[in-house]
């Protein structure tokens, strides 16, 4: 009689994992791994690694008093760009329709060398990063790392004449690409303007990017103005025309409601909007409001306005 | 369906409508999807729903005549109280996050800012209506109760204008509410009151 005594290393039948259970555990682990990658992915996307639209930065200047920039997500999902809808989240949803290539900017008016500039020639040159505060007339604010060139350097190429006392800017207007524009309540194309000394001020930037990349469409691609000491509506988006003028140009918001929006629109906590206070602002990402700074915290521009009554020229 | 069942359905519908935006808000908060400016989002959301429910409250009388049923009138108080609750949330958010409970700032806003003056006045007009909404107060005030509750008309008008005056340039949404409100008010043929008032002296002499 043969008596089989099982050696201790052999598994009993009941201890063997059935193949289907084994397979399902592998699947589970695979899915876990994928989930982990998916969770990490948004972080990867935000990293400053070169990728589509990445721009080369020649110099960096931090001009927001050491304040941390807002997240790219906040800055690119909360926008005023009425051609693409008047709610804050609409431009991010609708500005995909905007075709930013080919794109040329016509520069003319009171200058000796009027020209058409292709956007790609601007992107090819040296770009500065400037971290600025941005204060909207609606009393919210953000901190943004912009990329661009000083507007003054750009404008000098066209040799403005002594008659060039102002610079007028115009946004693209195309109702095919901007079907919601007719509900904006604004006279379009959107127009803005600066005094020539404001335009030539070293703080004024012609921006082509932010956060190390080309501008998202909802933020004014492919190029926009950045005037950090003025309310956001002065920083016109998607510029197609720049014109040197002798007379102060008409500007969109000021034409709509001259008692509410002035040509200067300097950030000034002491001069209220007729319908709301400008003394405080809500920085996106913060629950409570903070005090608004004179000239948005850029006191070096004050000399541009010496002798000007800022209550009258708001 | 028995009449009690039918009324229950109407009540359920009203509760759902008034609380769904609250659930939506809670869901968006949990998901972190209130956007870059959550305070503004909640402020707008609560204000919009206060105004919408106020209009809905005013739509119950016309609805009763149209359908020839009593249920619309029986859910009217419920809707009105929810409109008031949303208005309270709206004001609390403003008081907390915009003013940080500063009475001085509130006073400054009330004096200087037309749309805030109107919104605050609307809330003040709704307050006695909410307080006297119980059956006890209805019996205590008798006929004056109905007169008092006509305050909902000026309150709704002020609330709609509050929205109109807040907007920068795109007036579509606030003007839609204002138009609906004017429709609901005109349906009540307010000129009858004026005509009656003119006739009365003739009758009394």
For A181-199, the pLDDT digits (tens) are 999 999 999 999 999 999 9
Written as six digits, the tokens of B99 are: 């003013």
pLDDT(A107) > 80: yes
More confident: A32 or A304? A304
pLDDT(A47) > 50: no
Which pLDDT does position A51 carry in this prediction? 64
Residue B203: pLDDT band (50, 70, 90) is: low
Residue B108 touches chain A, beta carbons under 8 Å: yes
Query: Quick one: closest CA in A to B117, which residue?
Result: A275
Residues of B in contact with A88 (CB under 8 A): 35-37, 40
More confident: B203 or A187? A187
Which of A29-33, A62-66, B51-55 is predicted least confidently? Answer: A29-33
Residue A66: pLDDT band (50, 70, 90) is: very high
Residue of B42, B119, B169, B174 to mutate when probing chain A, most A C-beta within 10 A: B169
Written as six digits, the tokens of A314 are: 């708001």
More confident: B200 or B156? B156
pLDDT(A268) > 60: yes
Residue A27: pLDDT band (50, 70, 90) is: low
Q: Mean pLDDT, to the nearest integer, of B25-43?
A: 95
CA A258 to chain CA centroid, nearest Å: 26
For B56-112, the pLDDT digits (tens) are 999 999 999 999 999 999 999 999 999 999 999 999 999 999 999 999 999 999 999
Which pLDDT does position B195 carry in this prediction? 84
Residue A46: pLDDT band (50, 70, 90) is: very low
Contact: A285, B36; criterion CB under 8 Å: yes
Contact: A184, B109; criterion CB under 8 Å: no
Query: Quick one: closest CA in B to A142, which residue?
Result: B36
CA B82 to chain CA centroid, nearest Å: 8
Mean pLDDT estimate for chain A: 90
Q: Is B35 left (phi over 0), alpha (psi -120 to 50) or beta?
A: left
Residues of A in contact with B115 (CB under 8 A): 275
Q: Mean pLDDT, to the nearest integer, of B120-128?
A: 98
For A252-262, the pLDDT digits (tens) are 999 999 999 99
Q: How many CB pairs under 8 A join A and B?
A: 59
- DSSP 8-state class, residue A249: P
Its sign, for the CA torsion A264, A268, A271, A277, is positive
Written as six digits, the tokens of A226 are: 């950045």
CA nearest B120: which of B145, B92, B97?
B92
Rounded CA-CA distance A133/A224 in Å is 16
Residue B197: pLDDT band (50, 70, 90) is: confident
The interface pTM score, or ipTM, of the predicted complex is 0.86
Q: What residue ranges in chain A does DSSP mark as E strands?
A: 57-63, 104-109, 115-118, 127-135, 140-150, 166-171, 191-195, 205-210, 213-214, 224-226, 239-245, 280-283, 290-291
Which pLDDT does position A45 carry in this prediction? 39
Residue B35 touches chain A, beta carbons under 8 Å: yes
Rounded CA-CA distance A223/A98 in Å is 13
Long-range contact list for B158-162, CB < 8 A, 24+ apart? B158/B118, B158/B119, B158/B121, B158/B122, B158/B125, B159/B50, B159/B51, B159/B54, B159/B87, B159/B118, B159/B119, B159/B122, B160/B51, B161/B115, B161/B118, B162/B115, B162/B116, B162/B118, B162/B119, B162/B122
What global pTM score does this model have? 0.85
The answer to whether A254 is annotated as binding is: no
Mean pLDDT estimate for chain B: 94
* Percent share of chain A, pLDDT over 90: 83
Residue of A72, A218, A288 to mutate when probing chain B, most B C-beta within 10 A: A288
Q: Can you name the residues that pair with A207 across neighbouring β-strands? A: A148, A224
Rounded CA-CA distance B136/B149 in Å is 15
Rounded CA-CA distance A225/A238 in Å is 9
A contact residues 46-85, partner B, Cβ 8 Å cutoff: 70, 73-75, 77-78, 82
Q: Are A116 and A104 in contact (CB under 8 A)?
A: yes
pLDDT(A164) > 60: yes
The answer to whether A235 is annotated as binding is: yes
Q: Are A55 and A214 in contact (CB under 8 A)?
A: yes
For A134-163, the pLDDT digits (tens) are 999 999 999 999 999 999 999 999 999 999
Domains observed in chain A: 58-305 (3.90.420.10)
Residue of A284, A285, A286, A291 to mutate when probing chain B, most B C-beta within 10 A: A284
Query: Quick one: closest CA in B to A85, which residue?
Result: B170
Domain boundary assignment for chain B: 3-195
């Amino acid at each position: 009689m043969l008596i089989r005594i099982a050696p201790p290393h052999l598994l009993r039948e009941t201890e063997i994992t059935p193949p289907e259970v084994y397979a399902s555990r592998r699947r589970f682990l695979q899915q876990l791994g994928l989930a982990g990658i998916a969770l990490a992915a948004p972080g990867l996307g935000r990293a400053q690694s070169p990728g589509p639209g990445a721009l080369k930065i020649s110099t960096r200047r931090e001009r927001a008093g050491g304040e941390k920039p807002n997240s790219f997500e906040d800055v690119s999902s909360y926008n005023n760009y009425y051609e693409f809808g008047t709610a804050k989240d609409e431009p991010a949803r609708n500005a995909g329709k905007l075709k930013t290539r080919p794109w040329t900017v016509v520069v003319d008016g009171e200058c000796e060398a009027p020209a058409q500039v292709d956007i790609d020639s601007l992107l090819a040159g040296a770009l500065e990063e400037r971290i600025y505060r941005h204060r909207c007339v609606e009393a919210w604010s953000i901190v943004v790392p912009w990329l661009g060139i000083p507007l003054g350097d750009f404008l000098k190429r066209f040799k403005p004449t002594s008659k060039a006392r102002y610079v007028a800017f115009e946004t693209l207007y195309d109702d095919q690409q901007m079907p919601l524009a007719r509900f904006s309540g604004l006279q379009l194309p959107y127009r803005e303007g600066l005094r020539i000394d404001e335009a030539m001020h070293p703080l004024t930037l012609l921006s082509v990017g932010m956060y190390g990349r080309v501008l998202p469409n909802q933020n004014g691609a492919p190029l926009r103005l950045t005037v950090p000491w003025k309310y956001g509506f002065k920083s016109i988006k998607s510029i197609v025309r720049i014109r040197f003028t002798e007379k102060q140009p008409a500007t969109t918001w000021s034409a709509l409601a001259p008692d509410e929006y002035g040509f200067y629109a300097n950030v000034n906590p002491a001069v209220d909007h007729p319908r709301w206070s400008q003394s405080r602002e809500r920085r996106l990402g913060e629950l409570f409001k903070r005090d608004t700074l004179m000239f948005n915290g850029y006191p070096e521009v004050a000399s541009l306005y010496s002798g000007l009554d800022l209550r009258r020229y708001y | 369906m028995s009449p009690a069942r039918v009324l229950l359905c109407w009540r359920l519908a009203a509760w759902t409508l008034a609380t769904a935006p609250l659930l939506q808000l809670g869901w968006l908060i949990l998901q972190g999807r209130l956007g870059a400016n959550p305070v503004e989002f909640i402020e707008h959301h609560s204000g919009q729903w206060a105004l919408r429910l106020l209009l809905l409250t005013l739509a119950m009388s016309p609805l009763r005549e149209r359908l020839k049923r009593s249920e619309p009138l029986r859910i009217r108080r419920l809707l009105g109280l929810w409109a008031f609750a949303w208005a309270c949330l709206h004001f609390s958010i403003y008081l907390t996050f915009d003013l940080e409970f500063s009475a001085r700032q509130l006073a400054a806003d009330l004096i200087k800012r037309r749309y805030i003056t109107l919104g605050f006045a609307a809330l003040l007009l709704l307050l006695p209506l909410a307080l006297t909404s119980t059956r006890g107060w209805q019996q205590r005030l008798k006929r004056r109760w109905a007169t008092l509750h006509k305050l909902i008309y000026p309150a709704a008008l002020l609330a709609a204008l509050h929205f109109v005056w807040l907007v920068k340039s795109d007036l579509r949404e606030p003007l839609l509410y204002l138009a609906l409100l004017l429709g609901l008010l005109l349906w009540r043929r307010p000129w009858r009151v004026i005509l009656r008032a003119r006739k009365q002296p003739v009758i009394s002499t």
